Amino acid sequence: MSVELDSRLHQLRNELDDHSRVARHLGLDLERPIKSIGDGYPENAIALVGKIAERILKQLWRHHNVPGDPGSKALNELIKGALPYIRSNNVVDAFRDIQRLRNRSTHDGYEIADEDGLTAVRRLLDVLAWFSSTGSGILSGDVPKLAPDVAVKAEFLAGLYLTLDFKPVKRFELSRNTLYQLFFRERGLRSEYIELLLSKSVDDVIQVFDTTGGELLQTRLPKLTRFLILEQNGTMNRPGPLGEDFRVVTYERFMDAFVDLDRHLADVADAYPKPSDTEQITISGDLLTTDEQTGEQRIVQVGAADRLLDEVATTGGNLLIVGRSGTGKTTLLKQLVIRSAAAGRRYRFYFDMSLKRRDEDFRDFVTRTLAPYMSVENTHVFDVFHYFARSGSVLCALDGIDEAVPSMTQAGFLELFTELAQVLSAESAVVTTSRVSFLEDTPQVRRLLDGTALVSEKLVQQLHAQGVNPLQVPRFSALRLHDDPSSATPLQRRLSHRLAAGGEQPAHLAELAWQHIEQTCAEAGLSHRLPEIAGYFGSAFLRDQATFGFIDIVNHLGIEVFDRGRLSYDAFRLRPLFRPADASSVAFTHSAYQELMAADHLRLQAGREAALADPLPPRLTEQVREFFFRRAQASAISDDCVLPAGTYLVGPSHHLMLRTIERPVRFDRFPVTVERYNRFLDAVRQDGSQQWDHPDMPDGITHEPWLERLRVPGYYTDPAYANHPAICVSSWSAYAFAAFDGKRLPTSTEWEAAARGTDGRLFPWGDDIDLSVVNCADSWSGRPLITYEAWREELDGGRLGRAMPGPVDDHPGNVSPYGIREMAGNVWEITSTLLNDLGEVVICGGSYDNPFRALQASSKGLARRRVSSNAVGFRCVEEV
């Protein structure tokens, strides 16, 4: 054995001796791993350290009554079960390092060196140091002498310094109310010491000093940082044994030594929108919770949103604020964190998630955001923040989580939320905001937030990995902000005031924001550059870029966008639209501006083609779609029922896409009627259908309607129904009819593009809800069926029993931009888009028994190829 190795083993043996009480209580032999390394068997040392780690974890399981028998658990299972009770990342990493080293030694055929054995022992020391320094009697069996509230505070403070890589040196319980702790760490050639004296009051400290003479505090160590931490305010009137080199702080203000909260919150308040500009705005909303069994939301309170927000945050619960763009979500969140007594928590952190780069994980984003306000090394910023959050010490505000998702899908949201799980705990208060359109059409995403009983297994695993027990995490309640179209939102009010825009009816956000963009460009002398400016920032949004460096702006728009060539925020001529992201970059004051520019960029066919040609799918939000419709406003393109070739916006609000129609096609103006289908049946009865049948059609298929299923037995024979849609026919029959008529069935993409036009509208006639132009469940019920529950109640109550298809020309207002009629409601329409794996075809448009919301042009369903239904018809197209 080398002299160097012997020296290192001697040092480790001395450190292990400090934990002899733990060894005696748990029956551990801490000497054997050291001896194995000295004898040249580091793999045995690793195995022994693994056994010791298991013994410690089993003790934790039993102490905290973790469900299950720890005796039958493997090391990785023991770690997983104990994680919710270990607040230190360093200790968690130590256990995992021990597990990894043992796996290498026993399973992976990895060559084990002395250094691996030494590493295992060092990581074991980190585990033992944590529990010893925090005063926990879990491992040693000692009954703490400290008063319970003092012991809790001592554990928090010790854990904080261990998180910063300090090692415990001394710990003395001077009385039930007073504790002394000394910590040490090495930084290169520099040694750093921290002394903490924690007590309930100055009187307790003086009494201890008078009793002991302060002998324990005469350490005479260099470069000490000394803190006298009191539960109550007080001052030391005499230097006493501490000398003069110490700081007196109260426990609740101790974190000020690590974070400059006042400056952080001042910067939050100073950023757009400033709370002082919105103090007179009253925002109301509904507080919703979710039934854990059914997953359905219910309103539990209605009132002022700030009051509802305070009530939830005060209890330590988690909250999701949802609302349309500009409804005041950010204003509410800022008001919450800026208020001095917000939710009873002194320490609050605000994160603008729109500034999180897509290639940046949450840890790096938090570090970048908080580093200017923390007095610790950058490598420890997140660890300290995470420690505070896991200890229940902070309110964490995450603004705009929908702007930080990698993709507008359930998988994209889950990817982000598993990162956010790091700040969740039973004591946490996490408040987030999201635009409602991102969540309202995605029940799976809502369930990730609404209830632990409905949470996905992947998220459960991630919570466990972060040391969080999912069953102990408060559910996310939802605060849904009211959005009355007849009254202006906070953002509309600010823009109206800035633009001096009047009128009884508030102007649409798209109109106001575009006027502000035009005004800003005009005042900057850049009106002639507006198309170029909108194209640059708009296309950047589609590429998922929300922040812009000054150099990048100059490279794309030229130096003239800055006054006198100075690259700074103050010199940026477009700054009324922007806010600083950091010293050398900017972001829009509100995402609506950039989304509006994206919509303007997409108005042009060239813009849509460029976005589609990008290797990554463009970022298309519901707000972009709405602005796209408002900017394009192509209310009527033609009346010849021809869908031109081009690139179209399609898909539901949470999964919008651009798709290309390669060749123009002419649609039937109306769905195929009973009269037309009867002519086809006459031809089939006379000559057979083989010449028109699909080559894959099974034997035994007949093109006769399924008469037994028809609600009206004489539907195909009574002349009164000649102008009604052909129903109760299979997709095989629809295909054959189209061939008989010299046409084909449309693809689902062609169908949706023909219904939406070039402006991405929600319905064939536009974005407005109009029950007078559709045949749907709402019109039969006589009242709007806003929720699934309301529709189900109507259906189960038999009030939709009279609903059935109507004439195809009953609703002149139900017309697409190309003159195609009755595409929404009445009957679903069969397309040629096939899901081969399921043997199903895609149907579009909704029917007479669906609620209005299901009639959007993006609505799609699936139907078995041979199944017939009263609610399903079809129409044909032909190549132009």
3-state secondary structure 635-699: CCCCCCCEECCEEEEECCCCCCEEEEECCCEEECCCCCEHHHHHHHHHHHHHHCCCCCCCCCCCC
pLDDT exceeds 70 at position 735: yes
pLDDT band at 665 (very low <50, low <70, confident <90, very high): very high
Angle, vertex CA 250, rays to CA 245 and CA 252, nearest 5 = 135
Cα–Cα distance between 141 and 131 in angstroms, integer? 11
What average pLDDT does the segment 539-547 reach? 92
Q: Residue 797 — pLDDT band, cuts 50, 70, 90?
A: confident
- Report the pLDDT value the prediction gives residue 806, as an integer from 0 to 100: 95
d(CA 24, CA 259): 40
Residues 335 and 328: their CA atoms lie apart, in Å, by 11
- Given a contact cutoff of 8 angstroms between Cβ atoms, the answer to whether 507 and 496 are in contact is yes
pLDDT tops 70 at residue 213: no
Picking from 657, 639, 626, 660, the residue whose alpha carbon sits closest to that of residue 816 is: 639
> What is residue 365's predicted lDDT score, i.e. its pLDDT?
93
- Determine the pLDDT at residue 345: 65
Each residue's pLDDT tens digit, 400-438: 888 887 776 666 776 777 777 777 765 667 888 887 655
Average pLDDT, the chain: 82
- Per residue in 618-631, pLDDT tens? 989 888 999 999 88
Distance (Å, whole) CA 45 – CA 27: 17
- CB-based contacts of 505, cutoff 8 Å, min separation 6: 486
Could you give the CA distance from residue 622 to residue 141 in angstroms, rounded to a whole number? Answer: 59
Residue 622 has which token pair? 């519901």
Token pair 């008063």 is found at 147
pLDDT for position 450: 47
Q: Would the pLDDT of 591 be above 60?
A: yes
Comparing 545 with 443, the larger pLDDT belongs to: 545
Find the range with the poorest average confidence among 196-205, 241-250, 484-493: 241-250
The DSSP code sequence of 27-41 is T--SHHHHHHHHTT-
Q: How confident is the model at residue 456 (pLDDT cuts 50, 70, 90)?
A: very low
> What is the average per-residue pLDDT within 236-262?
72
User: Regarding beta strands 642-643 and 429-435, do their DSSP bridges make them parallel or antiparallel, or are they unpaired?
Assistant: unpaired
Strands 872-874 and 297-304: unpaired
In the chain, % helix, strand, coil (3-state, to 5) comes to 45, 15, 35
pLDDT of residue 307: 80
Q: Which residues pair with 321 in a beta bridge?
A: 433, 479
Q: Which of 42-51, 477-486, 798-807 has the weakest average pLDDT?
A: 477-486
Per-residue model confidence (pLDDT) at position 633: 66
Q: Domains of the chain, with CATH numbers?
A: 1-140 (1.20.120), 144-257 (no CATH), 306-474 (3.40.50), 492-633 (no CATH), 665-879 (3.90.1580.10)
Strand 284-290 relative to strand 476-481, pairing: antiparallel
d(CA 878, CA 880): 6
Cβ-proximal residues to 855 (8 Å cutoff; 6+ apart), any chain? 763, 774, 776, 824, 825, 845, 846
pLDDT at 221 over 70: no
- On the question of pLDDT at 509 being above 80, the answer is yes
CA gap 352, 858 in Å, rounded? 32
Res 453 pLDDT > 50 = no
Read off the pLDDT band of 524 (50, 70, 90): very high
Question: Does residue 48 carry a pLDDT above 70?
Answer: yes
Average pLDDT of the segment spanning 248-269: 86
Rounded distance, CA 617 to CA 54, Å? 47
* pLDDT number for residue 647: 95
